[in-house]
Amino acid sequence: MGAAGAAPSAPRSPAPQPLLVDLAVAAVAVGFGLSVGLALTATSRHQLAAPGGAALFLGNLTGLAGTYLALVMVLLISRIPFVERVLGQDTLLRWHRRLAPWPITLIIAHVVILTIGYAQAAHTGILHEIGPLVNGFPDMGIATAGFVLMMAVSVASFYPIRRRIKRENWWGLHLFMYLALALAFAHEIVLGPSFVGHPMTQLVWSVAWAASAGLVLVYRVGLPVVRSIRHGLVVEEIRPEGPGVVTVILRGRHLERLAVSGGQFFEWRFLARGMWWQAHPFSISARPQPPYLRLTVKCVGDFTTALAGLPAGTRVALEGPYGTFTAHALHTRKVALIAGGIGVTSVRSLLEDLPKGTRPVVVLRASREEELVLREEIAELVKWHGGRLHEVVGPRTAQPIEHLAELIGDLRKRDTYVAGSESFVASVTRLLALLKVPQEAVHADVYAL
Amino acid sequence: MRRAAIAVVATVGGFAGVLGFNLGGSRAPLLQGAPNSNSNSNSNSNSNSGSGSGSGSNSNSNSGSNSNAGSASNPGTTTASGSGAPTTGLRSALGNTYQYGYGQLAVRVTLNGSTITKVDTVGLQTAESYSQQIAQQVIPLLRHEVLAAQSAQVNGFSGATYTSEAYLYSLQSALDKLHKK
């Protein structure tokens, strides 16, 4: 396994195409402009002047803008490969999280403002108007159900609440957002002033949503299922690497056709009782060596602990590969790799993929000697590359981050890859910024719990 | 951030595109003002027996597409002469304007003798597009029912309950003015 410098036998992930993503961003943004514009053109001046007119206009505007942003939210997590290759799954998730408050707020505003508007138009009270709105218009019953569902899922995603919920439970709940959006769809088409009597806008809106749903189905469900079946991975062996760290070796078919770059990760699904329904991200710790593929995992939670005890023969499904922590990200000729703790896994597989002449300087950081897992393999790869290896052991107080930078020296001339826990990566990238290392030459791989 | 710039420019582009397309098109966007096209000043206050309560408010704002085509050809003027007996000749009256929650409307009815020959909607104004569409769909059906039944005693249409009620109330008030049972 993992012989240094062995001829790579499986293809790499295709190179990222940033221009395509620029075009996709432009297309999505044009759509947003169109949505806001449609809201404006759907209201005539005399409607605006009528009782409740201003509120009805605002309610329509917030509804269109909010729903369009919800569509963008769906696209951001749809795992479209050409987008993921450029931005990376972590960046896409970050954008998804950052954008989230906007559609939610706009859709709440839509509901509140329209209720006020209809109450003004009908000369009744706001609470009095809720009944007629929900019952009196087509598709408003299910739309209301969708809104309630959306609010429930949103509350669960609100950070102070989310961190109290188990990741896999939260994720299961979060899937209901798709249902909420689907329930709300009909009332948009049937009641939306921009859509009533405008078959063209109805068609475009429907196609946009159907296409997004299709992308989600293809890339989050279809492709992973096809890939998992094609490769038919099973657990071959689980090997301890160090305190609480295991390497899982998988055996599968056609791995020479699995395009994956060193430094990438898959979402793994171990098809054992109580585990099959959750997918967890783990980096490959070596490029595929058909018929083997391996990942190295630190046991930190229920799932990873159970993982270490899986019997050989357990079937494994995978989704991916994901991540931009690859040799594709190189800007310069030379490379520095900094791994904190378990971050060594992606650095290990990335080392296999670095082009010749990159002369990697590798810094491995651990609190204790025995936590320096995979150190022999790393040493062998570094030697093959003609690079340099530094092992830094000790608590952070004794081994400050600044020290790591001193070990490397010519940081500004190198592409620096940083892998490890959130706090480790954050402090290293902060340091690199202080040292005026250009941002595009810093590549991070965060291991979240 | 290059992509942020792309996003902003493209958003503005899409926005401007819709407005541009729309200003050039036939629809009535916010910026272009309302199509207060046929402001049928209801000057034909024939036989409008005094009570013009609702008639003032619907003097404008026929929002686009209702079909009060023949209203000008109204010779107006009741030829009803004396004796209270069933009369002949054309008479018409404008019903009260009814505010029905999602909009308002008024109905003008024309009788030939005691036969309802024509029912026009004159003051249709809705708060939003859906109600406008509903009204436009249901009003021809209501007119058809009324002409068949020769009275305002017809069933409204479910899904357009409020519109139906407003239409039939206004019609009844117009018929009352003409003393038609």
Which pairing describes strands A361-366 and A388-393: parallel, antiparallel, or unpaired?
A: parallel
Question: Which of B128, B130, B134, B136 should one mutate to test binding to chain A, selecting the residue with the greatest count of A CBs within 10 A?
Answer: B128
Q: Element (H or E) spanning A264, and its range?
A: none
Phi, psi of A438 (to 5 degrees): -60, 140
pLDDT(B163) > 90: no
Preferred mutation among B129, B134, B163 to probe A, highest tally of A CBs within 10 A: B129
Measure B124 CA to nearest chain A CA, in Å.
Answer: 12
Query: What is the predicted pLDDT for the residue at A16?
Result: 93
Tell me whether residues B126 and A44 touch, CB distance under 8 A: no
Least confident of A137-151, B86-100, B164-178: B86-100
Contacts with A75 from chain B: Cβ below 8 Å: none
Nearest to A43 among B6, B8, B30 (CB): B30
ipTM of the complex: 0.83
Among A164-173, B39-48, B105-114, the range scoring the smallest mean pLDDT is B39-48
Strand-by-strand arrangement of the A361-366 sheet: A388-393, A361-366, A334-340, A414-421, A442-447
| Per-residue pLDDT, A137 | 84
Which residue of A22, A43, A44 to mutate against B (max B Cβ within 10 Å)?
A44
- From chain A residues 167-196, the ones with a CB under 8 A of any chain B CB are 190-193, 196
Give A170-225 pLDDT, tens digit per residue. Answer: 988 999 999 999 999 999 998 888 888 888 999 999 999 999 999 999 999 999 99
Query: What would the pLDDT profile of B116-146 be if each residue is shown by its tens digit?
Result: 999 999 878 877 778 888 888 889 999 999 9
Percent of chain B with pLDDT over 90: 29
pLDDT value at residue B65: 34
Indicate the pairing of strand B115-121 with strand B107-112: antiparallel
CA-to-CA dists, residue A52 to A121, A144, A197, angstroms = 5, 21, 22
- What does the mean pLDDT of chain B come to? 69
Q: Can you give the pLDDT at residue A87?
A: 94
Residues of B whose CB is below 8 A from A192: 129
Provide, as residue numbers in chain B, all residues whose Cβ is less than 8 Å from the Cβ of A43. 30
Interchain contact B10–A (C-beta under 8 A): yes
CB < 8 Å to A50, chain B: 103, 125-127
Q: Inter-chain contact A33–B12, Cβ cutoff 8 Å? A: yes
Comparing C-alpha atoms, which of A417, A419, A415, A412 is closest to residue A437?
A412
- Chain B residues 86-115 within an 8 A CB cutoff of chain A: 99, 101-103
B158 pLDDT above the threshold of 80 = no
Identify the DSSP state of A219. I
Q: Do B8 and A29 touch (CB under 8 A)?
A: yes
Find chain A residues with C-beta within 8 A of B9's C-beta. 26, 29
The reply to whether A19 touches chain B by the CB within 8 Å rule is: no
Q: Is the pLDDT of residue B160 over 90?
A: no
For the residues B25-42, what does the mean pLDDT come to?
Answer: 38
Structure tokens at B6: 């792309």
| Size (chain B), residues | 181
Q: Residue B181: what pLDDT?
A: 64
Q: Does B30 reach chain A within 8 Å, measured CB to CB?
A: yes
Secondary structure in 3-state letters for chain B: CHHHHHHHHHHHHHHHHHHHHHHHCCCCCHHHCCCCCCCCCCCCCCCCCCCCCCCCCCCCCCCCCCCCHHHHHCCCCCCCCCCCCCCCCEEEEECCCEECCCEEECEEEEEECCEEEEEEECCCEECCHHHHHHHHHHHHHHHHHHHHHCCCCCCCCCCCHHHHHHHHHHHHHHHHHCCCC
Using the Cβ of B126 and the Cβ atoms of chain A, whether some distance falls under 8 Å is answered with yes
Reading the block at residue A169, the tokens are: 């439970």
Instruction: Mark the ranges of chain A whose per-residue pLDDT is less than 50.
Output: 1-8
Are B102 and B84 in contact, with CB atoms under 8 Å apart?
no
Q: pLDDT value at position A184?
A: 96
What pLDDT is attached to residue B58? 35
Distance from CA of B94 to the nearest CA of A (A): 22
Determine whether the interchain pair A56/B128 forms a contact, defined as Cβ–Cβ distance below 8 Å.
yes
C-alpha torsion angle, residues A142, A53, B135, B156 (rounded to 10): 70
Please indicate whether, in this complex, the C-beta atoms of A124 and B101 are within 8 angstroms of each other: yes
A126 interfaces chain B, CB cutoff of 8 Å: no
Which of B2, B6, B29 is the closest to A40 by Cβ? Answer: B29
Q: Do B102 and A121 touch (CB under 8 A)?
A: yes
Put simply, whether A33 touches B (Cβ < 8 Å) is: yes
Assigned token pair, B55? 């008639």
Mutation target for A interface from B8, B11, B165: give the one with most A CBs within 10 A.
B11
pLDDT class of B87 with cuts at 50, 70, 90 = low
